[in-house]
Structures are given as C-alpha cells and as structure tokens.
Structure 1
Amino acid sequence: MSENRVILEKLDSMVRETNLDIEIQKSKKLLAQDESLLAGAVPVPLSKFGAGLPEGIGSARVFALRANTSFKTERHPNSLQRVLSLEGDGEILVKDSVSPRIQALTSSMDARLEQRWASLGRNIWHQPQAGSRDWVVLTFHEVTENKLVDEYQD
C-alpha cells in the first residue's frame, strides 16, 4: 500500500469523526453574499481534527465552488494538496504533462476512497469544476496557511 493511500485513509477516518458544519456554512455564505465569487474558502484549524493527524499536514481549508462553474486553473508549487469531496459532485482537470486526466469526485460516503479523494502533487496545474449544484470540498496542504503559495493561470 502506498504512503499516500495510508495518509488518505487516516485523513478520511479523522474527517468522518469531525463536524465541519460551521466551515461548510461559512463557505456557502461567502458565495451567497457575493455573486461574482467563483468559490468561498474558509480555513479549518488543524486542532479541530484532534490528535494524530498524519505527519506533513500543515493546513486545511473548506471550499464551496459555485454550481456549474470552472474555477481558475491553479497550482501550489510548495505543497502537495489532498482534496475530499464533502457535498455535491465535481471534477478536477489535472493538467500534468506526464499524466493529464480528469478526476471525478463524489461526496457519497459509500463510494470508494479514490472516488471521494484526489491527491495533487506540488506544482501540478489543476482546475476544479463544480457539477450541477455547489460543490464543497476539504483540502489539506503540507504547509501552513500563511506559507501556502497559490498560483493561477488565466
């Protein structure tokens, strides 16, 4: 079993035991307050997940992406990103020159881990696209929120 799979399984277990309702509602409220926003982001304190987070987790954020919308193409040159679909469905266009792909994600807790989670390596361009309703995801990064570099393409 790969190290990444072990980390995803641990994170998945911890998220299932964590109430993220406040962060989910805040991210959705950001969308409701400003029709021009493509996404609303809310940081999640790592302490919310309790003790035992896997090594290398530096920050977490909840994002609500507006329904039927493509977010900006982005990358994080200083952090691997792990994404969990919490509400709704969407896909991530991974623009990796070695293995470009579309990774569809669902929020069904009965779905396999690979259908709910995506891992995006450092410096990999990717573009989230929400399905027919607002798509809420939880992201984990290797670095702290204040050190995370978000780069965007037009």
Structure 2
Amino acid sequence: MPIVVKTQNAGKGDWAIIELQGDLEVRSNQDMHDQFIGDLYYNKYGQPILIIGHHILQGREQKLDKPFAVLEKSKSNEGERLLETSMMASQDVSMLNATTGAERTVLDHTIAQEHKSRQRTEYTVRAVCTNKLIFKSRPKPIIANVAKSV
C-alpha cells in the first residue's frame, strides 16, 4: 500500500521540541490536548525562558542529532473521484462503440462500490524540528513583592 507524503513549502517558522524534566500535572483531570501551557521567551543572550503558572524555568537550546518531522494524518475517500472518472470512461467507451445501451454492467457497479468505500491515508509534513529546548533545572517560583508591614 503506498503512503502519500505531501510537503508544504510555505515557510512556517522554526519548530522545536520542548524537553522537561519531571511531570507536568494539572489541577483537574482534564485532557491537555489543545490547552495553553505557558509562555516561552528568549532573554537577550538567546537562552529560552518558560513561564508556566507561577513558575519560571530557564533552559538552553540544543541541535538534534537527527531531525524529526511533524506529520498530519488525514483520510480521504478517493473512491468518489475514481467513481466519477470510471463513469466518464464508460460513457466515452459507449460513445466510441456507438451502442445504444449506455447503462453500466454489474461488474462496473461492483468496481465503483469498491472504489467508493476505499479510503486513502495521506500524511502532510507540517514542519521539521531540528532543535530542542532543554529545561532540566528545577522550576523557580515567581514571588510578587510583599509589603514589609505584613
């Protein structure tokens, strides 16, 4: 089975992998998919700084030995397209033979049904990660200024 991989040449910016030491826990039992985690900044020396809630993490950037590709998997029904082309081809053949019966045979109908139910899996390359951001030190709490009278 062929696996189709598309590439997008529109410059999407650089992607990087974030590597954290330890666990990232949430207060409630909700899924982390599509959730905001924190803010990523770079200081004037080019070092990454990650702020998650009331914690700050300082890290470093490292080049990966082998790049990683970010792929998006999608499924499409190619059968609808094949059904239309097979119908057009059968009409062309019937016109060329100049026969009056332009109806499809049982075999044509069976082939069209097989093509209609077949799904095609495609992979689109969204980005290529060549760097990773490593945050291996313990997070430091961010404390606001407290009045001395307290």
Q: TM-score range by the shorter chain?
A: under 0.3
| Higher strand content, 1 or 2 | 2
Of the two structures, which has the highest relative contact order with CA contacts closer than 8 Å and spacing of 6 or more?
Answer: 2
Q: TM-score, normalised by structure 2?
A: 0.20
